Amino acid sequence: MSVRARDGLRAALAAGLLAVLLSACAGSSSRYPVPALPVSKLEQLRADALRALPPEETGEFLDTDLVEVVTLDPGLRLDVRYAGSDNFLRAPIYPEARVFLQRPAAEAVVRANRVLQAHGYGLLLFDGYRPWYVTRMFWDATPSEQRNFVADPATGSRHNRGCAIDLSLFDLKTGLEVPMPSGYDEFSERAHPDYAGGKAEQRAARDLLRTTMEAEGFTVNDDEWWHYDCRDWQKYRIGNAFFKDLPRTR
């Protein structure tokens, strides 16, 4: 190969690699538009959130009874993205991969999982109870124009009450996560539960999940197909307990 041909090939390969990288970056930007934060900034957000206090609430509330969901049904699978770096902040937020819910909500998830198993699927759990300080971190890290995807810490999240679950489906035969019209934690219209785009089989899987969860008393979030709130969420207080202080088995 001549020098000129070799140089041309190198240039073509470099251009192709650049195109792939730009495409990947574009996709990442669409999914996670929140700028990646330096470690020092993220830790400052964490420190500020830990010093802050949740909003005061008045009235009568049910006693908190958070249960680790997988202890009720070992057929459930965990993929707790906030315990790793595959999330919109690209950094571990939780110290452990654990999912808790108030007991009635946890039992409803177990019932939904049994229904879905008849269709060849299982439930893949991303997140449940979330300490309030984490909601404060998410809010502070998110640009104002994207805050419809995160809860306002001034009022608290239904995750903070142990009454919201983020989840998807996995295929019982392959063990693989079932493709949906968008990825989890994606900040785009593709994440809306009524999004009409994507592939028909993706929408069908999303809609099966929704039908099954709604039959157990959950309602889907307007912006996130994966987020479901259980009935009576308003009857529980905002929580800020650390995972390490919650029971491992019930």
Count the Cβ atoms, other than its own, within 10 Å of residue 191. 22
Helix (H, G, I), strand (E, B) or coil at 170: strand
Q: Which of 106, 110, 113, 90 is nearest to 41 (CA)?
A: 90
Rounded-to-integer distance, Cα 83 and Cα 51, Å: 21
Name the token pair of 186: 């994606």
Distance of CA 12 to the CA centre of its chain: 39
Helix (H, G, I), strand (E, B) or coil at 46: helix
Rounded-to-integer distance, Cα 121 and Cα 27, Å: 28
- Residue tagged active-site, from 68, 186, 216, 224: 224
The enclosing H or E element of 136 equals helix 132-141
Rounded-to-integer distance, Cα 84 and Cα 152, Å: 23
122 contacts 172 by C-beta, under 8 angstroms: yes
Catalytic residue status for 224: yes
Catalytic residues: 224
